Amino acid sequence: MGAKAGKVLISGASFAGLSTAFWMSRLGYQVTVVEVARGLREGGTAVDIKGNTVDIVRRMGLLDQIRSNRLSLQRWELKNERDVTERSMVLRGEGEAPPDDEFEVERTVLLNMLFDAVKDHVEVVFDDSITSLSETEDRIEATFARGARRTFDLVFGCDGVHSAVRRLCFGEEARYIHFLEQYFSITIVDKLLIERNTAQMFNVPGKAVMLNAYKNNTDIIFAFASDKEFPYDRRDEEAQRRIIADQFAGVGWRTAELLQEVRSSKSFYFDKLCQVRMPSWTKGRVALVGDAGYCPSPAAGMGGSLAIDGAAALADAMREHGRDFALAFRAYNERFRPFIEQVQAEAVRTGLESLVPRTEEAIRARNARTDSSF
């Protein structure tokens, strides 16, 4: 497109935002990324890179770095209250090389790879956010929380499930967020609570406790079913910790010990399991990428990779249609949607039922299976 393709504003400096920044810069756009946090939002569970995403990160020049930083989960163990393994799923034997078409990498490591790939080519503004957007025939004006006003040719909302860009341009999030009747928390501790390269899970009806150990870290994940949504302050972390403590009080296995780890850890994230479903991810000069437009829920295990996939799908459409962003946006919507709908349907159909079974009979049936999948 050349160096004068125009100016784009990207809200969010996570996988979707940084991947979109990478491709828009390659297409010749002058790119500004604005992130409400004071720095990169590090932490979170590992990211799976497989299928089409492997080809995309290869195109981005990141595959060798991902390969050298890959994790190697070897075994899943399903535990009972006495800490007896009722079912063990061996993903690969001792000394067996992991497949070369599927990679798991720490979220923080991958996020920093993406940031390093764009930081010298785009403007990144931390500790600020978009408060209003006003579109005219040939531009879109953004007002920022710190008071600045700037004009751009295009705006991309890459700011997650609770996207501010989506709210400003498409309406309140309640119109698009579909509650999947579960809540979850993630805590990462800097020590091994189980054997390295192993994951464990314990269930009682409607509740799950999961551990994932890699390098010298352990992810602690709590999840519980709830037929109805309940109100909570997304900015009150201590109140969210109390929700988890109340929900899992008296639950067996190692739960009391793990709740103490959650209480003392600085790392904590809590939210409802949900999907974002929209009839269109674009409107005028605005497009949504990643969780902002099509969050599949953590049950899919693909949030990070879908963000990378979506940024590439948008960029490919814009490369094909040049400066005709309307045609590019239409192609993005039409071509990428079947894949998104498939992933979201699969997350509801299998991911939720397997991870948090609602009855003792369902837990027993899952734990008695002899194949290598949930």
- The helix-helix angle for 15-26 and 107-118 (nearest 10°) equals 30
**What's the pLDDT at 3?**
45
Instruction: Quote the pLDDT of residue 62.
Output: 97
Q: What digits encode the pLDDT tens for the residues 16-38?
A: 999 999 999 999 999 999 999 99
- Give the relative orientation of helices 52-59 and 303-321 as an angle to the nearest 10 degrees: 60
Distance from C-alpha of 29 to C-alpha of 122, rounded to nearest angstrom: 9
Report the chain's mean pLDDT, rounded to a whole number: 92
Tens digits of residue pLDDT in 96-145: 666 778 899 999 999 999 999 999 999 999 999 999 999 998 999 999 99
Q: Is the pLDDT of residue 368 over 70?
A: yes
Report residue 251 as tokens: 């639950």
Say how far apart CA 128 and CA 292 lie, in whole Å.
18
Is the pLDDT at 339 greater than 90? The verdict is: yes
Pairwise CA distance, residues 24 & 270, whole Å: 32
pLDDT at 97: 67
What is the set of domains in the chain, with CATH numbers? 5-70+101-176+275-354 (3.50.50.60), 180-274+357-368 (3.30.9.30)
Residue reference for tokens 């150990």:
213
Amino acid at 91: L
CA separation, residue 284 to residues 167, 302, 312 (Å) = 15, 28, 20
Question: By the 8 A CB rule, do 222 and 184 touch?
Answer: yes
Rounded to two decimals, the pTM is 0.91
Model pLDDT for residues 58-94, shown as the tens digit of each residue = 999 999 999 999 988 889 999 999 999 999 988 766 6
pLDDT of residue 168 exceeding 90, the answer is yes
- Taking alpha carbons only, the member of 221, 219, 229, 220 closest to residue 182 is 229
Confidence of residue 177 (pLDDT cuts 50, 70, 90): very high
Angle at 133 between CA 130 and CA 138, to 5 degrees: 130
Q: What are phi and psi of 170, to 5 degrees?
A: -115, -15
How many angstroms separate the CA atoms of 163 and 144, rounded?
A: 15
Residue 111 structure tokens: 């996020």
| The pLDDT value given to residue 192 | 96
- What pLDDT score was predicted for residue 1? 44
Closest listed residue to residue 145, CA positions, set 38, 31, 15: 38
The per-residue pLDDT for range 255-307, each reduced to its tens digit, is 999 999 999 999 999 999 999 999 999 999 999 999 999 999 887 677 789 99
Per-residue pLDDT of 237-253, as tens digits, reads: 999 999 999 999 999 99
**CB neighbours (10 Å) of residue 231?**
4
Instruction: Give every CB contact of residue 343 below 8 A, 6+ residues apart in sequence.
Output: 296, 300, 302, 306
Compute the chain's Rg from CA coordinates.
21
Per-residue pLDDT, 374 = 63
